[in-house]
Structure 1
Amino acid sequence: MLVLVNTAAALLLFPLLVFVQSLDPAFNDDVLGLIVFKAGLTDPQSRLTSWNEEDDSACNWVGVKCDPTSNRVSELLLDGFSLSGHLGRSLIRLQSLKVLQLSRNNFSGTINPILTQIPYLETIDLSQNSLSGSIPEEIFQQCGSLKEISLAKNNLTGLIPQSLTSCTNLKRLNFSSNLLSGQLFSGLWSLSSLRLLDLSDNLFEGEIPIGIDSLSVLKAVSFSKNKFVGWLPENIGNCLLLKSVDFGGNYFSGGLPISMRKLGFCRYLDVSGNLLAGDFPDWIGDMRSLEFLDVSSNNFSGQIPVTVGNLQSLKEVNFSNNRFTGNLPESFGDCVNIKVLDVGQNLLSGNMPSWIFKLSLERVSLSGNRYSGSMVIPSWMQSYQILRVLDLSSNALTGEIPSAIGNFSQLQALNISRNSLVGSIPASIGQLNTTLVLDMSYNQLHGSIPVEIGNCSSLTSLVLSRNNLTGPISVSIATLSNLELLDLSFNNFSGSLPKELTNLSHLVTFNVSFNNLEGELPVGGFFNTITPSSVTGNPSLCGSIVNHSCPAVHPKPLVLNPNSSVSNHTPLSQNLRHKRIVLSISSLVAIAAAIFIALGVVIVSILNVKARTSMARSANALTFSGTGDDYSPSNETEANSYGKLVMFSGDVDFESGAHALLNKNCELGRGGFGSVYKTDLRCGRAVAIKKLNTTSLVKSRDDFEREVKRLGKIKHENLVQLEGYYWTPSLQLLINEYISGGSLHKHLHEVEYSGSLLTWRQRFKIIVCTAKGLAHLHRLNLIHYNIKSSNVMIEVSGEAKVGDFGLAKLLPALDRYILSSKVQSALGYMAPEFACQTVKITEKCDVYGFGVLILEVITGKRPVEYMEDDVVVLCDMVREALDEGRVEECIDKKLNGGYSMEEAIPVIKLGLICASQVPSNRPDMEEVIRILELIQCPSESQEELE
């Protein structure tokens, strides 16, 4: 048997075999061609072991079929053989080949144009390989016999060859899932024999050329997931035999062409993910063969027409993410074959349509609308044994959860979050033993978790957060062995956490924050890896995770039993002495507490006096036009007792002398920590000097200098460099590099910067740069505490740098309340954990501020805006708009459409996730950077973000 050799060996083998054939005319061409083809392949599964060069015929080989008359190879069927290698020239010897099926392998390299020199070739299927390069023009220059060609799911680039028009007998053309680009040429419509045309999932652009209606026998067309613009082909309806039409995932505008109503045989229609607008046409009811209808993620408005009831073959319908109003027409009830109904994220209103449960539905989504009233589930319905997914989230439903919910015995996902449901969780919930996902969060449910929840044995996700649930956390939850996510946060649960929860071996996400839980946290299992934020907001919890040791167990005071003999107990005198000791300790604790409180009052008073005195001294010492006697410029030296100026570079030569460090005419701005001034060095380079106004809280000089020098060593392209400092007991200055482009806040909100409008690409770059700067700080275990647009500086080149980091490290007396007023001076950026004294402040507070910053950059609006009669919180406004499908309204109007929705919406969602109320739900900054890299459209070069 011939041993497999590499491609180079195959090329050497080919002329040798040709020579052998010339000596022996009986040597079969098909055997020769296939043996040489095999020699250039890697066959990891040894699927081609039956291919033997000593055979006279290849007809009995695996994957080979022959014509019974001529005994020549007519079909080569190697689909899914895991072969790799290149498509060599040897296949041209198979002169009787009609079908070449090489799909689902790992062939690489370019397409060999010699394939079409096989005279009778009718089918070429090279789909699902790793072919690259452009499609050669030559491949279609002799394609008169070609009827089917599929190059789908490769890495092909470039244009569709114009020579394709030569394939006049072509019936099926599939170039989907490649990287093909450019505009379509009208010559495609000359392929009048086409039955299938699939160009989906490529990079095609421009408008669809006129003339598609000349494909009179076309039965399936897909242009989805490209960048086509303009209107849908106006005469598409003249292709009367069409059964499948897919234009989804493009930028088509306008409405549905009226000619579509003639497509009486059409079963599949997808126009989702475009910019189609206007009322949805009544004539949709004329397309009576429709089984699948998807118009989601457009801008359709008005009411859903009642004529949809004519579509009695309909199985799946998706009207989600539009602007439909009114209620669902009851005529939907005539669509007796419908299995999937999704009308989520619209403006539908009225009572929840109970008739939907009378259909044989498998999946239902009414989420993100304005439905109100109670959850009415009729006592008799078709869907009890069929319904798999029910999503009623983000509406205005009221009343209690009906006990009939437990009758959905096959339900896999139930989401009724973000409504106004009241009452308790019905015990019938335990009947949902096939349910995987259960979300009842953001309601007003009360009472305890029913023990029957333990019967939901398939649950992988249980979310009951943001309710008014009380009582202990049911130990029955510990029996849910498949649970991966458990969120019980923001309720009123009490008692201790059941130790049995440690048995949940698959649990990945756990959150019981902000309840009234107490006692020692369980040890073992996933509790060894949870973060403090997942249990925060429970002041009475103790354990190493929350850095709060549990109180020691003291012996209970002895109680004398008058009915017992003295001999069986401790002597009375000893008990009385113990009692006196206990009372003495209690008294001491009370006295110590009183002394501590009094001492605290005195200290606060002294600090206040000191602060006022220091501020007065600072005002006297700081003379903007004085002689500068308070300054002693040096490099790590102190000339007198008044002050010390240190520049880490050694350059302390200021243009107007040290006395001009602070020039009131050059003030750049003021913040929570102090004012900032611009000053020039003698060499002409400018620096920015921050005068700290928190003197009474500053560390001692040694600690201050040590911390400043540490900050001065932090260097990163997206962080403002600290270059030096000035110290006196009453005045501290920080000397930073000067960023000439100004702050992000000024670019977004101040009139004088309106001429330098930030483009979408510049805004995206600013977000990425800020994320990289924060990530570097977090890698150094340094929390910024003060993320806001005025602390993000913009270089002339467009690079962003984060400033004012590490200031909290200089001020040890700062607690979170001072931070709330001093550091978090810009309202709206402050993470909610600042309001809770028991919650540990982590890097996640920076992530929250960054999330708000993202929304500020995208919308151009301040984190909090005060209207005449209202206060608008940016996070809430954007979240509501996203829920209602109005997210485009939030994007800064100054961008004037110059942005990519493919990037804008994911970035907005990222901002909202970062600004989550629960710290554990926020990603870390490294994750944020990876997400931003994924969001960036592939058409944008990476250099633009570097």
Structure 2
Amino acid sequence: MFPSVLFYLLLCLLLFGGGRGDGQDERQILLDLKTSLGLDNIKGFESWTPDNSPCNFTGIVCNSANSVAEINLRNRGFSGELPLSSLCQLPSLSELSLGYNHLFGEFTADIRNCTGLRRLDLAFNKLTGVVPDLSPLNKLEVLNISDNGFSGPFPWSSLGNLTELAVLSLGDNGFEESPFPEVVMNLTKLTWLYLSETNIKGEIPPWIGNLTELRDLELADNFLSGEIPPEIVKLNKLWQLELYNNSLTGTFPPGFGNLSDLAFFDASMNNLEGDLSELRFLNKLISLQLFFNNLSGEVPPEFGDFRYLVNLSLYSNRLSGKLPAKLGSWAEFNFIDVSTNFLTGEIPPDMCRRGTMTRLLVLENNFSGGIPASYANCSSLSRFRVSNNSLSGVVPAGIWSLPKVNIIDLAANQFEGPIDAGIGKAKSLNQLFIGYNRFSGELPQEISGASSLVQFDAAYNQFSGQIPASIGGMKQLQSLNLPYNSISGEIPESIGSCSSLTTIDLASNNLAGPIPASIGGLPNLNSLDLSNNHLSGQIPASLSSVRFSALNLSNNQLTGAVPAGLAINAYITSFADNPGLCSDDTRYLRRCSSKLGGSSDKLRTILTCLLAVFALLLAAVGLFLFIKKRRSDRNRRMAKDPSWDLKSFRILSFDEQEIINSIKQENLIGKGGSGNVYRVELVSGKVVAVKHIWNDPAAAAAAAAAMNGNWEKSASTAAMLAGTRRSASVRSREFVAEVTTLSSIRHINVVKLYCSITSEDASLLVYEHLPNGSLWERLHAETGGKVGGLGWEARYEIAVGAARGLEYLHHGWDRPILHRDVKSSNILLDECFKPRIADFGLAKVLYPAGGGDSSAHVIPGTHGYIAPEYAYTWKVNEKSDVYSFGVVLMELVTGKRPIEPEFGDNKDIVYWVSQRMNSGESVVELLDKRIPDWAREEALKVLKVAVLCTARLPAMRPSMRTVVQMLEEAGAKGQRLKDDMVEIGGYKFEGNEGCEKVKLSP
């Protein structure tokens, strides 16, 4: 009996394993894991039951002794806290793969008990805390903890004991900044080294060439500088090399072509220069990404023979010459983007030969010839952008009807011919840009079939005929821009069915007939331009219900009374050159009727006599007042000019006298280079800001003395200072610039201008009042413990908002608007701490009508923000604004002023940041100490954007559109404060509504 029992026990041990725990123990450990991770509710874990052997559990592999050896639960979709303590009790565990799930908690020291591990994969989870000493895990061959939330210093020295490592993947974590880890030099078995976004600084060391087994080397998104070391050419087994988004300089080292197995190479967003000749032997390339560098020369003709190449991005460089004719014709080519270079010749014809191409982007070059007919059959295309080239000819008919295309951008070329009727089959078409060409013929009725179209811009072409009535079927159309064509006939009533329209521009055509009343029923319309046509009849009363930000019906043949809702000062220029229009509600149009009635000679005589008597009385009163004024004290030199002229740009609830009466010392809140600023609380309770600009410098000096109480000295002060102030003509130009710019801008991140009030001596600009002052004040002013500092959340939102405002100025107009004085004191903050770009006294619209240079031949701006090109040329463009904005970003991240004594004589913040980043010091030390630990990774990304913006060469700086994109990406993974609370400047605000719920007063 006893031997039988013993035999049974031995059999159980064989079946369920031994070691430190038996099968029962291992099963319980795994069942506990199932409970803690909620695997009961996840499909695929039905086998994890108490009556089943652990070796039969899904994702579990046992060794020959039936002990658990491998746990592979990658990408199963579970969440919970990582139970390392119990898992490390599995005596035979050699693989733990839990990557691509939602594990959280800290990566504790318990992992050191897993001494038998050969593979540890915890990538793409939400683990946090500091990585412990890993030296006990000396059998590890694979260590992958990438894409988590780890922070603090990484224990680099412990890797010295992990000499069996073949895969080391630590990227996409928030480790403390460190030099390139020397310990990696000893890991000679490495085949995969992933250190992207691990805050490594300094140069890529020459010893990298000793890791000759490497097939994958990824060092992107760090703070690497210097040149690519020549020793890298020894890594002839490399299959992937990623160096993007660093500060690498120099050229590709000689012999780079020896990396003959390289399939994926990305060195974009660096400062690389030279040509591409060293890449001509890399004929196994599948993807080549080199955008945003300073590369020049031609694209090697050998690229046309690359049989595996499917992705090519070379945009925003200085490349020239032709693209190889056979480019992309061998493999299943996916996309090409060579935009913003100096390329010439024809577009390669066969990149869609295999029918797989999705994006063709060659805009902003000098390509010529026509669009190859082969692309008319490229049904896989989603984006087709060839604008701003010298292309010509008729667009192949099939281009218009591509079934998957969502953007067709042909603008600013020399295309001709009609829009093909096949456009009705372009069901995915979202944006159609064909302006500034020579297209002709009628707009096809079939265009309504492009039912997804949101933007249609065909300005400056030669279209004729009528606007098709079928346009009413385009329910998603938001912007219709057809100015400067030869379109005739009537505007179809059906346009009122385009319920999404926000902008209609049909100016400068040959349109006739009435304005359709249906336009007034468009619920989202805010801009309407029908000027310079032959429209007749009355203005529909329905337009009164539309809140227009821009309305222009000038130079037509309209008649009758302007509807009362439109006869306001905000639209004083909207009805010019329509002799038949009238209004009894505004003095800017002739009156429609006379209240006295009749036209008899007797009445005229009576009226003439009354007016004459009234004129004599006025003359007598005027003489009396003049004599009295001459005898009055000199303090009346500041008397108000009776000839103030108010020009309104929005609907107003005040008049000019209420503003003028408030220009006094007690309301003064600021002084700028172009005038004083006053806070004016109106009778209605609304608060506005008023900038007071004196046209006469002597009057300005006198006013300053008078407002300080020194009436006797005001005249002499004016005389003394008149020669030192800027001339009246300069101030006048500033005033005109600011009014011209701001009156036409409607953007949430640009300050609102309500009206201008002018006289011979002075000018007033009335803006919205921003109660939280300027960004400069919030960052740098002494606050005495009160509200003034800004939390990182607020700083980031200010950076993105201000960037969007500048992006609108640079890219949202037919001609870019150059601000020319971007600085933190010109970024104002509303009650929710949202930013507004302000002070357009130096703004200039680039590319003026009639030609001319695109540069501003002046030296404006503020010391510390001025781009370096001012030192060697007066020709500047929007990249100068980008530089100044980069300085603002540095202020936001570092908390420093643009000029500080600690930077040294004649040195600024750009120099200081550059020196610190290149000196080997910790970049984290550059950050403002008030930025919390959780936000530092995000702040460092913003600092990287600032460094790109302040590149010395304008061509190296990104556009504001790219800056917005990079800032948005920088914040995409940023950790937000818990329980959705945001602290801004001493206030706490709850939820996504910003400042609507104040939780805590300062």
Query: Cα 1:316–1:856, aligned 2, differ >3 Å: closer, same or farther?
Result: farther
Residue 252 of structure 1, CA deviation: 1.0
Change (3 A) 1:591 1:90: farther
* CA deviation map 1:665-686 (0-9, x unaligned): 35655534999xxxxxxxxxxx
Segment of structure 1 superposing worse, 355-364 or 471-480: 355-364
Aligned pair in 2 of structure 1 residues 72, 411: CA closer, same or farther (>3 Å)?
closer
Specify the code of the residue in structure 2 equivalent to 1:718: S
Query: 704, 707, 717: which one pairs with 2:773?
Result: 717
Question: In the alignment, which of 157, 171, 179 is matched to residue 176 of structure 1?
Answer: 171
| Counterpart among 231, 236, 239 of residue 232 in structure 2 | 236
Letter aligned with residue 530 of structure 1:
L
Taking the aligned partners of 2:596 and 2:437, their CA distance within structure 1 comes to 44
Quick one: distance in 2 between partners of 1:172 and 1:627?
86
Q: Does 1:472 align with 2:515?
A: no
- Are 1:453 and 2:412 matched, yes or no? no
Q: Distance in 1 between matches of 2:154 and 2:127?
A: 15
Structure-2 separation of matches of 1:430 and 1:938? 41
Question: In the superposition, relative to structure 1, how do residues 144 and 521 fare at CA in structure 2: closer, same or farther (>3 Å)?
Answer: farther
Q: 5+ unaligned residues in a row in structure 1: which ranges?
A: 1-23, 554-584, 633-642, 676-691, 722-738, 742-763, 776-785, 804-822, 834-848, 880-892, 917-921
**Structure 1 position 277 matched with structure 2 position 273:** yes
SS in structure 2 of the partner of residue 522 of structure 1: helix
Task: Specify the code of the residue in structure 2 equivalent to 1:438.
Answer: L
Other-structure match for 2:996: none
1:370 to 357, 363, 366: 366
Cα deviation 1:463-520 (Å, max 9, x = unaligned): 3344443443323334345x45443253445555545456557x47644364666513
Q: Tell me, what secondary structure is at the counterpart of 1:330?
A: coil
Counterparts of residues 731-770 of structure 1 (less than 5 Å): none
CA distance in 1, matches of 2:627, 2:320: 64
Aligned to 2:420: 426
Unaligned runs of 5+ in 2: 1-19, 562-591, 640-660, 670-704, 736-755, 783-794, 807-816, 830-838, 850-855, 883-905, 914-942, 977-981, 987-1002
Asked if residue 146 in structure 1 is aligned to residue 202 in structure 2, the reply is no
Q: Identify the match of residue 192 of structure 1 among 188, 191, 201.
A: 188
Alignment partners' CA distance in 1, 2:298 and 2:262 = 23
Which residue of 1 is the match for residue 87 of structure 2?
91
Distance 1:89 1:622 in 2: 97
Q: Does structure 1 retain, via aligned residues, the 8 Å contact 2:241–2:265? A: yes
What amino acid sits opposite 1:463 in the alignment? D
Asked if structure 1 preserves the Cα contact closer than 8 Å seen for 2:433 and 2:458, the reply is: yes
One-letter amino acid of the structure 1 residue matched with residue 480 of structure 2: D
Partner residue of 1:828? 844
Residue equivalent to 2:546: 545
Q: 1:183 to 1:497 in 2, by over 3 A?
A: farther
- Within 5 Å, give how 1:321-360 maps onto structure 2: 321-330=316-325, 332=327, 335=330, 338-354=333-349
On the 8 A contact 1:307/1:331 being kept in 2, the answer is no
Percentage of pairs with the same residue: 20
Q: Deviations over 1:866-905 (max 9, x none)?
A: 99xxxx79569999xxxxxxxxxxxxx9979748772477
Q: TM-score, normalised by structure 1?
A: 0.61
Distance 1:120 1:284, change over 3 A: same
2:122 matched to 1:120? no
From the superposition, tell whether residues 432 and 936 of structure 1 become closer, same or farther in structure 2 (CA, over 3 Å). closer
**CA contact under 8 A between 2:411 and 2:433: conserved in structure 1?**
yes
2:106 matches 1:110? yes
Post-superposition shift, 1:533? 5.5
Corresponding residue SS for 2:29:
helix
The 3-state SS of whatever aligns with 1:445 is strand
Which residue, out of 936, 945, 953, partners 1:902?
Answer: 945
Aligned residue identity for 2:546? I
Q: Conserved in 2, the CA contact under 8 Å of 1:98 and 1:120?
A: yes
1:83 maps to amino acid: S
| 1:156 match | 150
Distance 1:382 1:313, change over 3 A: farther
Question: Aligned-residue CA RMSD in angstroms?
Answer: 6.2
Matched with 2:434 is: 440
How far does residue 341 in structure 1 lie from its aligned partner after superposition? Answer: 2.8
Q: Measure, in 2, the Cα distance between the counterparts of 1:125 and 1:622.
A: 93
Corresponding residue number in structure 2 for 1:659 = 712
Cα distance in 1, alignment partners of residues 406 and 818 from structure 2: 42
The farther-off stretch of 648-657 and 230-239 is: 648-657
| Residue in structure 2 matched with residue 166 of structure 1 by the alignment | 161
Residue 75 of structure 1 corresponds to: 71
- Residue 760 of structure 1 is matched in structure 2 by none
Aligned counterpart, 2:926: none
Amino acid in structure 2 at the alignment position of 1:182: S
CA distance in 2, matches of 1:894, 1:349: 41
- Tell me the CA shift for residue 301 of structure 1: 0.8
Q: Which one-letter code corresponds to 2:516 in the other structure?
A: E
Q: TM-score, normalised by structure 2?
A: 0.58
Question: Which residue number corresponds to residue 58 of structure 1?
Answer: 54
Instruction: Answer whether contact 1:390 1:413 (CA < 8 A) is retained.
Output: yes
User: 1:797-835, CA deviations, whole angstroms, 9 ceiling, x for partnerless residues?
Assistant: x755879xxxxxxxxxxxxxxxxxxx99867379999xx
Tell whether 2:361 aligns with 1:308: no
Distance in structure 1 (CA, Å) of the matches to 2:100 and 2:470: 48
Provide the C-alpha distance between the structure 2 equivalents of 1:827 and 1:340, rounded to a whole number of angstroms: 38
Describe the superposition over 1:699-739 as per-residue Cα deviations: whole angstroms up to 9, x where unpaired: 9xxxx9xx99x99x985423999xxxxxxxxxxxxxxxxx9
Give the drift of 1:129: 1.5
The answer to whether the Cα contact below 8 Å between 2:770 and 2:828 also exists between their aligned partners in 1 is no
Amino acid in structure 2 at the alignment position of 1:216:
T
Give the number of equivalent residue pairs: 716
Note closer, same or farther for the CA distance 1:534–1:29 as it changes in structure 2 (3 Å cut). Answer: farther
- Alignment correspondent of 1:291: 286
Q: Separation in 1 of the partners of 2:502 and 2:153?
A: 47
* Residue 227 of structure 1: how far off its partner (Å): 1.9
Q: Structure 1 residues 43 and 535, CA, compared in 2 at 3 Å: closer, same or farther?
A: farther
Deviation at 1:448, TM superposition (A): 2.8
> Kindly tell me: are residues 190 and 339 of structure 1, through their superposed partners in 2, closer, same or farther at Cα, counting changes over 3 Å?
same
Amino acid at match of 2:712: H
AA partner of residue 279 (structure 2): I
Q: Structure 1, residues 325-383: CA drift from partner, whole Å, max 9, x if none? A: 122233537746544333221101245555667676613222110123x42534x6895
Q: CA deviation at 1:134?
A: 2.5
Are residues 504 and 182 of structure 1, via their aligned partners in 2, closer, same or farther at CA, if it must alter by over 3 Å?
farther
Is the CA contact (8 Å cut-off) linking 1:430 and 1:453 kept in structure 2? yes
Q: Secondary structure at the match of 1:131?
A: strand
Q: Shift of the alpha carbon at 1:160?
A: 3.5
Displacement of 1:214 in angstroms is 2.0
Residue 261 of structure 1: aligned partner: 257
Q: Is the 8 A contact 1:147 1:169 kept in 2?
A: yes
CA distance in 1, matches of 2:800, 2:190: 50
Task: Give the letter for the 1:166 counterpart.
Answer: N
**Aligned: 1:212 with 2:208:** yes
Contact 2:42 2:78 (C-alpha < 8 Å) held by counterparts: no
Q: Distance in 2 between matches of 1:855 and 1:423?
A: 50
Match of 1:401 among 378, 382, 395: 395
Cα displacement (A) at 1:308? 2.0
Deviation at 1:416, TM superposition (A): 0.9
Superposed counterparts of 1:442-841, under 5 Å: 442-457=436-451, 459=453, 461-480=455-474, 483=476, 485-492=478-485, 493=487, 498-501=492-495, 507=500, 510-512=503-505, 514=507, 518-522=514-518, 527-532=522-527, 543=543, 544-545=545-546, 628=635, 648=666, 657-660=710-713, 663-664=717-718, 665-666=720-721, 671-672=731-732, 694=758, 715-718=771-774, 799=825, 828=844
